[in-house]
Structure 1
Amino acid sequence: MTEKLYYLDSYLKECEAEIVDVIKEEEKIFVVLDKTPFYPEGGGQPSDTGSINGVKVIYVYEKDNIIYHQVEKELKCGKAMCSVEFERRFDFMQQHSGEHLISGAIYRLYEGNNKGFHLGEDYVTLDIDIYPFTDNMVHEIEGEVNRYIYMNEPFTTYIVDKENLNKTPSRKKIDVEGDIRIVEAKDMDCCPCCGTHVLRTGEIGLIKILKVEKYKGMSRIYIKCGKRAYEDFKVKHDIISTLSRQFSTDEKCLIKNVNKQSEEILDLKRQLNDLKTKLAEEEALKLIEDSNESFIFKSYENKSFEEVKCIGEALSKKPYIFILTSLKDKNILFVNNTDIELSCGNIFKEHINKFNGKGGGRNEKAQGSFNNIEDLDKFYLFLCEMVRNTK
């Protein structure tokens, strides 16, 4: 059994211990200590990292009351100096303690139960058996939790047996054999937990709910606490400040100005599309006037493929077979809008690979793309010749 120093003092950064076993499993090396400051992965919280005698500890887990430390290089049994990467540990302490307060507030205010918890490197998620969560609910939970944080109330931990578990104000009743560890923030949350926590709520600093989304009929809540919440605010504040300068307005009027400009842009886009459609129709009419056959071939050097497709849309109203290319984008459009039996899709499927192109389509329409203009031109000429010879 490994003595768990992180339960005696979650702020312990360094200590001496004894390496009692070194285990090699394939390409992995694990060290067992008589006592350890390293928290093993569990309860939704990632493991600590750090070093043992200067060798990096990359992962820690517990099995049968023995804690195994995966290290980068082999170590020998004997005395060891252990050092925990405390910035990472304290970050997890802030997140995990914050998650408890959020879960407790949800349970107290709305009788919602935490059905899942994940503490990741970037954010924390809680799965709550309530759906939907309204904006007012989110605001009430945030306000209640942050008010409690500012009161700087203590987190207490204690061990109870199975019989006394039901006597605690725990929001979560679980069926266990033997003793279980309880983490409590009085009048806010009480729950069985094996993780590490701050001593007082003030050390969390701040809790922010980022978003809520539907998940398996429940609500998945994304939160950031402490330094993570501060860093998130800093990034978003910089974005808002930049946008405020660009729109020459203050933060309060920013959304109004953005919405106004978005409406103006949409209106301009509609006008532009109308003009593109009109130009395409005029170009299609010109192509028809210049054609003495039932087919039209045209290769455009400076038009985008979107413009070419607009012309094709206008031509599709008339009974023509037409082949249009955009040399600018190296694309081709092939359409059969006549009664002539000619499958555009089958022709592409059978021949386009021979010209190093990619594409496909249906009987009446196909389109393709090429890496270079030379291959596009060859395929274009090939299709033109095939259409001319079609009876």
Structure 2
Amino acid sequence: MPSLSEEERNLAKNVPAEDSAITMRQTIFYAQGGGQPSDTGTIGPVDQEPTFGVSLVRKTPDGRFLHFGKFLDATSSFVAGQPVVQKVEDSKRNYHSRLHTAGHIVGLAMQLLMPDKKKVKANHFPREASMEYEGLLYNEHKPVIQEKVDELVRLDLPILISWLEGVAQVGDGEGAEEGRTRIASIGGLDHNPCGGTHVARTGLVGSVVIRKISRQKGISRVSYDVSPGIEA
């Protein structure tokens, strides 16, 4: 990817050097950010089979979208301004959405059970999903958190997306966009700035499993997963 600037290459440090990058001003792909991995899928000419497999999407500081991946045919290419068709891999989008919503459910459970614990970090990546909090949590907290999470899933609460106008940043700024902030709410009980994808109701996440609780330097990590996974 020699044509990319150093700043753009830094957005894809783990992308193979032989991969290509397709730059667009608009995309239907979710770009990696906010603790959530990007969508994957394909891009191709209009009315033709897809010619490019997308493995990673990142958004540049100036608002462009870099679609990293490989051409499916060595003879394929695109030209500037060419109309294309984008297709997102539905199963992975749904899995990532379920993981992200599950993280918000864990966060709401913690808020209801231990409102004094401040969230410091969220990770919604597969096999790494976790919520981190200031202060110490112990193994005896695990079944208590699990019970509250199960209750919130069972209630099948709606996930609502709204925009807070005229506010450039809320909390850590996740979801901020051009003077407004995107808010994800769970049944009117929980409201968080969030730019990620979600399922429509808590019951659609499947089962949320609290895997373990770990501690390091005064920070407690609540690791979780959802079932069924991506293979289902």
Which bin holds the TM-score, normalised by the shorter protein? 0.7 to 0.9
Q: Please tell me the residue identity of whatever aligns with 2:84.
A: A
Report how far residue 50 of structure 1 moved. 0.8
Matches within 5 A, 1:173-322: 173-174=171-172, 178-228=179-229
Aligned to 1:37: 28
Distance in 1, Cα, partners of 2:133 & 2:192: 15
Q: Please tell me the residue identity of whatever aligns with 1:51.
A: T
Aligned to 2:56: 59
1:68 correspondence with 2:72: no
Distance in 2, Cα, partners of 1:185 & 1:229: 24
Q: Please tell me the residue identity of whatever aligns with 2:30.
A: Y
Distance in 2, Cα, partners of 1:209 & 1:229: 18
Report how far residue 146 of structure 1 moved. 1.5
Q: Please tell me the residue identity of whatever aligns with 2:122.
A: F
Aligned to 2:12: none
Report how far residue 31 of structure 1 moved. 1.7
- The answer on whether the counterparts of 2:118 and 2:133 sit within 8 Å (CA) in structure 1 is yes
- The answer on whether the counterparts of 2:131 and 2:222 sit within 8 Å (CA) in structure 1 is yes
Matches within 5 A, 1:1-391: 24-25=3-4, 27-53=18-44, 54=50, 55-63=52-60, 64-73=62-71, 74-77=77-80, 78-111=82-115, 112-135=117-140, 137-162=141-166, 173-174=171-172, 178-228=179-229
The aligned length equals: 203
- The answer on whether the counterparts of 1:98 and 1:225 sit within 8 Å (CA) in structure 2 is yes
Percent identity over the alignment is: 24
- CA shift digits 1:237-293 (9 cap, x unpaired): xxxxxxxxxxxxxxxxxxxxxxxxxxxxxxxxxxxxxxxxxxxxxxxxxxxxxxxxx
Aligned-residue Cα RMSD (Å) equals: 2.7
Q: 3-state SS of the aligned residue for 1:38? A: coil
Residues 48 and 214 from structure 1, CA distance in 2 versus in 1: closer, same or farther, beyond 3 angstroms? same
- The answer on whether the counterparts of 1:149 and 1:202 sit within 8 Å (CA) in structure 2 is yes
Q: 3-state SS of the aligned residue for 1:51? A: strand
Q: Please tell me the residue identity of whatever aligns with 1:225.
A: V
Q: Please tell me the residue identity of whatever aligns with 1:195.
A: G
Q: 3-state SS of the aligned residue for 1:156? A: strand
Distance in 1, Cα, partners of 2:211 & 2:131: 12
Structure 2: unaligned runs, 5 residues or longer: 5-16, 45-49, 72-76
Report how far residue 210 of structure 1 moved. 0.7
Distance in 1, Cα, partners of 2:41 & 2:167: 38
Which of structures 1 and 2 has the larger relative contact order (alpha carbons within 8 angstroms, sep 6+)? 2
Q: 3-state SS of the aligned residue for 1:196? A: coil
Structure ranking higher in helix proportion: 1
Q: 3-state SS of the aligned residue for 1:42? A: coil
Q: 3-state SS of the aligned residue for 1:228? A: coil
Task: Give the TM-score normalised by the residue count of structure 2.
Answer: 0.77
Bigger radius of gyration: 1
Distance in 2, Cα, partners of 1:98 & 1:132: 19
- The answer on whether the counterparts of 2:91 and 2:230 sit within 8 Å (CA) in structure 1 is no
Distance in 2, Cα, partners of 1:139 & 1:180: 34
Q: 3-state SS of the aligned residue for 1:72? A: strand
Residues 88 and 217 from structure 1, CA distance in 2 versus in 1: closer, same or farther, beyond 3 angstroms? same
Report how far residue 211 of structure 1 moved. 0.6
Distance in 2, Cα, partners of 1:229 & 1:34: 29
- The answer on whether the counterparts of 1:91 and 1:226 sit within 8 Å (CA) in structure 2 is no
Distance in 2, Cα, partners of 1:190 & 1:229: 27
Distance in 1, Cα, partners of 2:189 & 2:142: 16
- The answer on whether the counterparts of 1:153 and 1:201 sit within 8 Å (CA) in structure 2 is yes
- The answer on whether the counterparts of 1:95 and 1:226 sit within 8 Å (CA) in structure 2 is no
Report how far residue 138 of structure 1 moved. 2.1
Distance in 2, Cα, partners of 1:84 & 1:199: 18
